[in-house]
Amino acid sequence: MSLPNQLIDKLPLILVPFEIHHGLNVYRDGVDISPAHFYHLQSLEQPLPITSAPSPEEFMKAFKKASEISKEIICLTLSKDLSATYQAASLAYDEMKKAFPSFKVTLIDTNTAAAAEGLIALNAARLSANGVPTEKVIQSINDGIDKIKFIGRINTFYYVWKSGRLHRAGHVLGTMLNIKPILDLESGKVGIIAKPRGNNKSFKLLVDLIKKQMGVRKSRLLVVHAHALDKAQDLAARLEGSGNIEELILTEFTPVIGAHTGPGLIGCAIEPLDSV
């Protein structure tokens, strides 16, 4: 979800962590392992860390914990096209309905992931904390699914290739040409929207594409990085100086994302707050 802990801790949010496997060790993302520790493991010799979706049992634990606070629960998952998380949550949802029929659970596939999903969850939690009725919170979530976008740049093809999402030829050619691809999240899928070469050119293009997505509208931004704080701070500074920004949050990508992209990934989730 890629939200800073200081925000999560103040809101009615319960996270169900992914698992990160490294050799014989299993870590829960955001619980047993920090981003710094994760990127240290990733820098070591094989095997590379791999990830797995939360189990239905983990979702049930979260539902039971949430039921101690409220009889209405909204469960948000990343896109079912990117992970088995939604399927695991669905199994727990069915069990929750059988075991605790008096509790209302609404399961929503956000059709996105990472920082974009984080902004959707942040808005929903803030509304809930302020006593907004569940129906209006759900409407806000659906609005966010339609309008919140993510654009990012990866630093290397190596980890994308090792995760099985790129052919070896693409990794070799991209590395030889020093391509730093620009990605977006659209309709639950990750796509490459540009293939600039070199750090400076790709960074400038990333800034331009985010500004274009912002347009002249007031926006909320979530700038994220994978072990690349200096680059993320530079990105945040360039965006702050050029847009009508109501709120800008700077934080780290969850290691679950870094496992597939490697260090150096920077990006921004953009939420328009008014119409053109």
12: closest CA among 93, 117, 128, 120?
128
pLDDT at 172: 43
Band (161; pLDDT cuts 50, 70, 90): low
Are the C-beta atoms of 184 and 150 separated by less than 8 Å? yes
Question: What is the CATH classification number for the domain harbouring 125?
Answer: 3.40.50.10170
Residues making up the chain, counted from first to last: 276
The reply to whether 246 and 207 lie within a common domain is: yes
The reply to whether 142 and 226 lie within a common domain is: no
Residue 158 included in any domain? yes
pLDDT at 68: 92
Give the single-character DSSP code of 166. Answer: S
pTM to 2 decimal places: 0.92
The reply to whether 61 and 134 lie within a common domain is: yes
The reply to whether 125 and 10 lie within a common domain is: yes
Residue 33 included in any domain? no
For residue 213, how many other CB atoms are within 10 A of its CB?
17
Q: What is the mean pLDDT of residues 236-265?
A: 90
Q: In the predicted model, is pLDDT for residue 78 greater than 60?
A: yes
Q: What is the mean pLDDT of residues 200-214?
A: 96
The amino acid occupying position 188 is: G
Q: Percentage of residues in the chain with pLDDT exceeding 70? A: 92
Q: What is the mean pLDDT of residues 225-248?
A: 92
Instruction: Give the tens place of pLDDT for each residue, 104-125.
Output: 999 999 999 999 999 999 999 9
pLDDT at 171: 45
